[in-house]
Amino acid sequence: MAVNSIKKLSSLSVFFPCYNEEKNVPIVVNQALQILPKFAQKLEIIIVDDGSTDHTRKVADQLSAQDERVRVISHDHNLGYGASLRTGFNESRYDWIFYTDGDAQFDLAELEKLVKKSTKNQVILGYRANRAEGWHRQFNTHLFKLYIDLLFRLHVKDIDCAFKLIKTDLIKSLDLFSAGAFTSAEYLYKLKKQGIKFVQVPVTHYPRQHGQPTGARLDVIIKAVRDAMKLYLKIKFNWNL
């Protein structure tokens, strides 16, 4: 696959939501600086530190000091994955937004697959062709997808796959309320209601090498379920809970 055969994006904001990813942040940022200029004429990289308790912020600040294209936005305390997404969306300044988690479980070179679809699409979603995680996490994810499809008829293959390319003005036009794991489903649903079509492409998912995942925590799952139901009741019955 020759990267010079595709048309570059005019400009690209890339952000990495991070919580206690001190060992992974240098990996993803350095990979981004090496690979992503092939896909965009202008590039900015945003590290969103969600109140990490390790040295993530210190490492991120060091990376920012080394390259002017890298910025760091830090939450004073842990606000949740959805809050990190919203911060990344709000801080993005360029025409397109691409985000992936700061856990180094994706190959950023595969962004080429999404960029190739951007000439005719405004929302390009990666989905994990394989899932490099245990059966328990996969089972929870499957149940959550069924729940979201029951409520919102979203029918996206991999709602929470952190490998998405979106036109910035679309995402900034949305009024999002979730600060948890439901945020991805919320913005996809609201884009769908606007008549926006999604194209989905497979990407490779790699095992985590450093740090611990937090998405499978019971409190994270419960909050996502509650947020989904709140939005459903608001839409269907105009209830505010």
pTM: 0.87
Residue 87 DSSP one-character state? H
Tokens describing residue 198: 């999604």
Cα gap 212→167, rounded to integer Å = 31
Q: For residue 1, is it within any domain?
A: no
Q: For residue 149, is it within any domain?
A: yes
- Burial letters for 15-49: b for 16+ Cβ neighbours within 10 Å, e otherwise? bbbbbbbbbbbeebbeebbebbeebbeebbbbbbb
Q: For residue 100, is it within any domain?
A: yes
Q: For residue 2, is it within any domain?
A: no
The CATH number given to whatever domain includes residue 32 is 3.90.550.10
Q: Give, for all 241 residues of the chain, the pLDDT tens digit.
A: 444 567 899 999 999 999 999 999 999 999 999 999 999 999 999 999 999 999 999 999 999 999 999 999 999 999 988 999 999 999 999 999 999 999 989 999 999 999 999 999 999 999 988 865 655 566 666 777 787 778 888 889 898 899 999 999 999 999 888 877 789 989 999 999 999 999 999 999 987 787 666 555 666 677 777 777 777 777 766 666 5
H helices of the chain, in order, are 25-35, 56-66, 81-91, 111-116, 135-152, 168-172, 183-193, 218-237
Task: For residue 160, give the 3-state DSSP assignment.
Answer: coil
Instruction: Please report the sign of the dihedral spanned by the C-alpha atoms of residue 140, residue 145, residue 146, residue 152.
Output: positive
Cα gap 149→232, rounded to integer Å = 12
Structural domain of 214: 9-237
pLDDT of residue 211: 60
Cα gap 177→104, rounded to integer Å = 28
Query: How many domains would you assign to the chain?
Result: 1
Cα gap 133→119, rounded to integer Å = 33
pLDDT of residue 224: 74
What number of helices (H) and strands (E) belong to the chain?
8, 7
Q: For residue 4, is it within any domain?
A: no
Tokens describing residue 87: 């911060």
Name beta bridge partners: 76: none
Q: For residue 109, is it within any domain?
A: yes
pLDDT of residue 192: 93
Q: For residue 57, is it within any domain?
A: yes
Cα gap 198→192, rounded to integer Å = 8
> Other CB atoms closer than 10 Å to residue 53's CB: what's the count?
10
Q: For residue 3, is it within any domain?
A: no
